[in-house]
Amino acid sequence: MFDKVVKQFYYLVFLFYSMNAQVPDNYEIVGHKAFIKLYPKESVIFISDTISFRFKGKVPSEISLILNPSCKVETIFYDEQLLKYQRDREVLKISASFKNNFELVLNYTGKLARRTEFSELTENSVLLHENEIFPLGTKSYEFVRFTVQAPNGWSVIAIGESINQSTENDSTTFTYQNDQLVQTLGWVCGGNFSVRSKISNRYTLSTYLFHEDSTFSDRIISQLEKTISTYSEHFSPYRFSKLAIVEVEDWVAGRAVLAAAFPSVILVKKQAFQTEDSFNNVNTILPHEVAHQWWPLTVFLSEADNALLSEGLCEYSSILFSEWSSEKLARDSLKNSPLLRSLISRSAKGKDLPLRRKADLRSMPTHYLKAAYVHNMLRLIIGDSVYKLVLKEFAMQRALLVSNSEDFQKLAEKISRTNLDWFFKQWSEQTGIPKIKIYGVKTTIRDEYWLTEGRVRLVAYEKRFTTPVEVGLKTEEGVLKKTFWLGFDSLNVYRNEVPFSFTTQFKPKQIILDPDGNILKHQKLPAKFSDLRDPADGVIIIGTTAGNAKYAKLLELAKRDSSEMDKAGWYLKIISDTSATLGDLQNERVFVYGNITENIVADKNAPKFPMQPTGNSITIESKTYSDSLAIIQIIDNPYLSSGLMCWIVPLTDTASPHLMPYDASYVILNQKEIVTKGIWEMKDDDLVVDIK
Ligand SMILES: [Zn+2]
């Protein structure tokens, strides 16, 4: 996102105004029939909402409603009687002789003087988040109808089916209705969009895009058709009558978010349409976003299980979608994920957190990948078809129920007839990832056969892991694989190593641990620019040696790059080379701008980089690059373990490189265009053993 990020999705809700009061839990809000009139010029909304309640226990004589303090209550009616109420900031206290299952009519106005993190009303558009305009409470919505009156020329989108649209004088009224059980209503959005719709099967698929992005519509709609039909077949039939994609501005929900899903609607930020980052563009992220319509918008979840059963499962659903549809997208494998190195280094630094806990996942991109790996490993253990059946049954049996990882575990255990308690404890409650190595490999010739023997071992097992692992033997004929178990066996005996042997007709070339990259384990991976997707703190060091004009030029490049990264959640400090201290170099991320004659830090550290420019050109594999080109390189930070150091060298004054999360360790760039690139050679001797 923002060219260089982590995109983060979230569907969950945060409380937007400081709350002193507890959200009442003696009733559930089961419905809204709201008329919402927008006054864009005045930034005012008027709402007349008939709210349905259901008590959970004894019927009280007084209830509390928690409503945004900037909403001014006009009148409250119960059973056609005007009610008295007391208001103290966000708390509204209302007394009446309530019956169970009662309705209140609440008339109020709200002024949205300023944009919040989630809502805005301007003369051109509106975005209203449920938590900022409706009372908070325990929600279990059985019926919702929104009637929104907006200026002519606007389109309005909300949860559910569009049941009416009518124009009168200078305004148009839109009515949406949903009678499917939901726990969240998301946003009411509106504005002047380029609108396209297609009826496919029994669903209406629509796009509401900014006019300049309208060309994306056809591809998005065809992708929605494919994802909905694939997930409907493999999970459960899509339960809403429409799915709308709505383009929103980049500020919505904070900079670490790229898209947000709520029932029957997906908001996608403008940057997903503009980005050149194939990992984070609108088409790449849609399979994940559409999967949210099932997880957790159909199978509701307890909050602590968001990583495993919402974000991780949506990420894994998108990988399954690629398999089912044979559609290749940038996000279709775990082992090539640009977040893998970050995930491993987080664990190596002891900075990872258990998957299972309440957390704002917007700042934890590596959790998505870890949780997706957990699904992949579960699939490996219980088998492909059994795993897929578990997903289908989870979608069907747990629809409209609030589930947690125990429910998922029980179902997986029942269907697979396997005890998986150790698996879920190890991966969602423990932290860390296993370190595994191959050793003692030897090959001998026996008659006409080659016998290759060795051992595979779990190292550093202060945390005891249990995992199946594949060992592959590579010959000119391909890779032969065998699976072994490490850790606890069915008799609860712990084995941290097992022997393996292969007999082959062809000469063995290599032994490879986990040749398909199916399990999450420590491994050495080369530094790549894609590691910059995990936002961190960093320092940018600008060269001053070549005079003011050159300094100004380098600073301009650095500022452009850092403003893009800021949007992605980075905290970057810009300093000059003459003021850089050892402490600066010990930052997690260090970016050095300028050639050796332009930057003293570059001059000092150039030998640590594999590629050396000579003057204003560089030669790679006997080809020389110069002119408006630039070379950028990334290596492990020599001053801080698990840190990174990038060196950005515009070869001449006309070069204007853009730092982006390229899937490469070095890139020759012409602005954003890759002229050539490569990845540092890196062999992990623990995982790959050559046979001579
Ligand atoms: Zn998501």
- Using the mean position of ligand 1's atoms as its centre, give its distance from the Cα of residue 288 in Å: 6
Distance 264 CA to ligand 1 centre (A): 15
pLDDT digits (tens, 9 = 90+) for 554-609: 999 999 999 888 877 788 999 999 999 999 999 999 999 999 999 999 999 999 99
0.95 surpassed by pTM: no
Which residue in 435, 432, 450 sits closest to 355, CA to CA?
Answer: 432
User: What is the per-residue pLDDT for 352?
Assistant: 87
Tell me the torsion sign for CA atoms 231, 233, 235, 237: positive
Q: Percent of the chain at pLDDT above 70?
A: 96
Instruction: Report helix, strand or coil for 381.
Output: helix
Residue 569: per-residue pLDDT: 73
Could you tell me the distance, in angstroms and rounded to a whole number, from the CA of residue 154 to the centre of ligand 1?
28
CA of 342 to the centre of ligand 1 (A): 19
Q: How far apart are CA 635 and CA 661, in angstroms?
A: 14
Query: Measured in angstroms, how far is the CA atom of residue 316 from the centroid of ligand 1?
Result: 11
Q: Distance from the CA of 672 to the center of ligand 1, in angstroms?
A: 28
CA of 277 relative to ligand 1 center, distance in Å: 18
Tell how far the Cα of 279 is from the centroid of ligand 1, in angstroms.
14
On the question of pLDDT at 123 being above 80, the answer is: yes
Which DSSP string corresponds to 117-140?
Answer: SS-EE-SSEEEEEHHHHS-BSEEE
Dist. CA 263 → ligand 1 center (Å):
13
CA of residue 363 to ligand 1 center, whole Å? 12
Residue 356 gets which letter from DSSP?
S
Centre of ligand 1 from the C-alpha of residue 306, in Å: 9
The secondary structure of 460-522 as a DSSP string is STTSPP-EEEEEEEEETTEEEEEEEEEEE-TT--EESEEEEEEEESSPP-EEEESTT--S---
Q: Is the pLDDT of residue 7 over 90?
A: no
User: Which of 116, 97, 130, 119 has the alpha carbon at shortest distance from 13?
Assistant: 130
Gap from CA of 9 to ligand 1 centroid (Å): 4
Ligand 1 centroid, distance to 252 Cα (angstroms): 15
Return the biggest CA–CA distance within the chain: 98
310 alpha carbon to ligand 1 midpoint, in Å?
Answer: 7
What is the structure's pLDDT at 627? 87
- Write the CB contacts of 478 (distance below 8 Å, at least 6 apart in sequence): none
Q: What is the CB neighbour count within 10 angstroms for residue 374?
A: 23
Ligand 1 centroid from CA 315, angstroms:
7
- Go through the domains of the chain in sequence order and give each one's CATH number: 8-291 (2.60.40.1730), 300-429 (1.10.390.10), 435-513 (2.60.40), 529-678 (3.30.379)
C-alpha 34/C-alpha 146 separation (Å) is 5
As a whole number, mean pLDDT of residues 470-496 equals: 93
Read off the pLDDT band of 20 (50, 70, 90): low
As a whole number, mean pLDDT of residues 13-19 equals 42
- 362-388 pLDDT, tens digit each: 767 889 999 999 999 999 999 999 999
What pLDDT, on the 0 to 100 scale, is given for residue 21? 59
636 residue type, one letter: D
Ligand 1 centre and the CA of 10: distance in Å?
A: 5
Question: Which amino acid would we find at residue 201?
Answer: N
Give whichever of 108-117, 247-256, 321-330, 471-480 has the largest mean pLDDT: 471-480
Is the pLDDT at 474 greater than 90? The verdict is yes
Q: Is the pLDDT of residue 322 over 60?
A: yes
**322 Cα–ligand 1 center, Å:** 17
Q: What integer is the mean pLDDT of 635-646?
A: 93
Q: Provide the sign of the torsion angle of the four alpha carbons 512, 465, 367, 570, taken in this order.
A: negative
Of the candidate ranges 78-82, 464-468, 568-572, the one whose mean pLDDT is the lowest: 568-572
CA of 117 to the centre of ligand 1 (A): 18
In one-letter notation, the amino acid at residue 91 is V
CA of 313 to the centre of ligand 1 (A): 9
pLDDT at position 357 over 90: no
State the distance from the centre of ligand 1 to the C-alpha of 309, rounded, in angstroms: 10
pLDDT at 524 over 60: yes
CA of 173 to the centre of ligand 1 (A): 32
Could you identify the residue written with the tokens 């209203």? 128
Split at pLDDT 50, 70, 90, the class of 461 is: low
Ligand 1 centre to CA of 286 (Å) is: 10
Rama region for 440: left / alpha / beta (φ>0; ψ in -120 to 50; rest): left
CA distance 185 to 174: 16
DSSP secondary-structure letter at 617?
B
